[in-house]
Amino acid sequence: MDKNEKERKKQILRELRQKQQQEFEQGLPVGREFFTNLFDYLDNQLEKHKCDNTNKLTLRFLENNKIANTQRVLRWLADNGGYCDCEILANVEEKFEDREEV
């Protein structure tokens, strides 16, 4: 593969990552900042309280922040590996960290 082919391949990969990033962002049920705040809240709360295999801390956060589409957010979290508070922190936060590198 010559230099031009390698550069073209890199460009195609960059464009694909950008498209995936856009699709990810557009699919979020609430803004990215909300999730950052949720992850910080869960991190803090789970240091104090053991996960009880529910999403009650997340639900409390949603209610305290007056999120209207609570069920849509919870469904999105579950669809992305967050079935309970500790899984939201472990699995879903990772998806956001992966996206920061793009």
**Model confidence pLDDT, tens digit, residues 34-84:** 999 999 999 999 999 999 999 999 999 999 999 989 999 999 999 999 999
Q: Are 45 and 86 in contact (CB under 8 A)?
A: no
Q: Are 85 and 51 in contact (CB under 8 A)?
A: yes
Please tell me the pTM assigned to this model: 0.79
**Residues contacting residue 63 through CB under 8 Å, at least 6 positions apart:** 70
**Model confidence pLDDT, tens digit, residues 54-63:** 999 999 999 9
d(CA 12, CA 62): 39
Nearest CA among 31, 28, 26, 35 for reference residue 72: 28
